[in-house]
Chain A
Amino acid sequence: MPESEPGLIRGYLEVLAGQLPGPIVEELSDGLTETHRSYLARGLSPDAAAEAAVAEFGSAEEILAGFARVNPARRAARRLLGLGPVVGGCWVAALATSRAWPGPTPARVVLGLLLVSCIGLLAVAALRRRYRVAFYSGIAGCVGFAALDASLIVGVLVVAGVASWVTAVAVAVSSARIAFCARVAVVSQQNT
């Protein structure tokens, strides 16, 4: 939006820029500029055109709520939290039947702390409506879960050398989760 545009529009965009990523704000700014111009072309004064454009665009709260709903990291966080017990159950069954808990006690503690941190980050992403907070928490949670899954797979297959059908199922679901997290990172990158 050029410097000469009315303060009402600048202020409106500043509110959006406080919570949304730059590329999304750029897109909204382009749309708002076009809306403003259409009212100017109908003969309204710059300030009246700005008021009409902002009114037509809808409230900033409405737009922020709309983007919060389609935040890819937020939606991914909800799916990962929903599927977490399934993946966890597979690993508990695999480790209990093979009796091959990976690594020494400190390594297990680190894995446990990583798990709790990931769940916390995903919960923040799933529940917070602020786009940026939900976005970065969700991405961090995805990366953490991918690292956790990779550690479990390497620990059980390579270090402990366990091979059973229960372990194979756990490895398969963890691999699927790693692929899902990678896809979320790519989609999130494309959408910001």
Chain B
Amino acid sequence: MRIYTASSEETMRARKLLADWAGEGFLTKGQYQRLEQETVSELRTTNIFLRLILFLFTLISVGAAAALFFRVFLAGPSEQVTGIFLLIFAAVCYVAAEVAVSQAHLYRYGIEESLAVCSVGFLYAGMQAALFSGRPYSPKLDGVHFLVPAAGGVFSLWIWRRFGLWYAFLAAMVFALFLPSYWTSSHSAQHVIVALLYVIGVICVTALRSHHHFDYIGDEYSLVEAFLWLGIYLAINLQLSSLDLRAQWWGIGTTAASEFARSFYWTTWVLIWCLPPVVLARGVRQKDRFVIAAGAIVAILTFVSNKPYLGWPRHTWDPMLLGILLTGVTLFIRRWLARGPGGIRRGFTAARLSGKDKQWMNAGATVLGLVTPQSITPSPQARSADFRFGGGASGGGGAGGDF
């Protein structure tokens, strides 16, 4: 099923680990050079920046080529004809992606990824145009139209399995979101179906990854499992999965509570409190970075959405309390770990063991330092004519702006 051999993918993983260890000083330069020679792969890869721009320019060229084809060869085609040609483009893009890998040995190179993504996009648009020709998109409760997102989801899953592109799995999850609206008009049932689909996904992934410890497939399943846990949480958290969040949270529109049956609403409230410990426990037991991160995110989201769930008023100091809680928990964990022998407790440490962590920290500090001052400064809420306070639109850590 996989287009790359397991051996070559594991070799690519080994090369990355070697570079990381050499950067941290765990290997000498001589050792690194020798071992690097032993991990030569036939696959051709590149760094993240070139990968991104190669992806971008492939997307531009494919999109422009498709548009040019329609403009030159098909003057005013019917939607069905357009759909058929889009399906042909999907096939062409997919074959091109396969050829790019099998002939040019591209691996996370941007080009083959972009072609694979284009094939999913063309397939979805082509099926939509062919099946819904002449009609605007609207989910209907019948047995046919769900095939469009279903095909998109299945094909995305195939791309994920075939090429190992994690974002293709994410696309499959998004396609799955649309499916229930074709089967039932009940919002509660739609939430349940989406959550069930993701639960099935978690069960499958859990079963599959039990055979893969400490290899590249284990890493891949780890990310996918984290996405699925996040998906389950978002499906059952009725305060977050509503489309009109702003209206709900500030009491402008109808609240989620009134949309759903009382028992269903409160069941989901119980579930959003139960899920974070389950996910965190699973992540900690598996020592799985992505699942731990998913657990932390859903725990924070539970704190953030609890008040809207209960219908309690929000206070301006709520973010402060959340900040104190996060900081307190972090400091407690850090100190608890540090007090263990060698700074290790139950197999966990707060010390940095990988050079990648430092790179992420440095890049994150620069980008977030530039972005966050504007985002955390609240908009003015003037109480009287002579009192205006807020702004920060001109940078300066939120100190400037409109006064």
- The finding on whether chains A and B are genuine partners in a shared complex, rather than unrelated, reads no
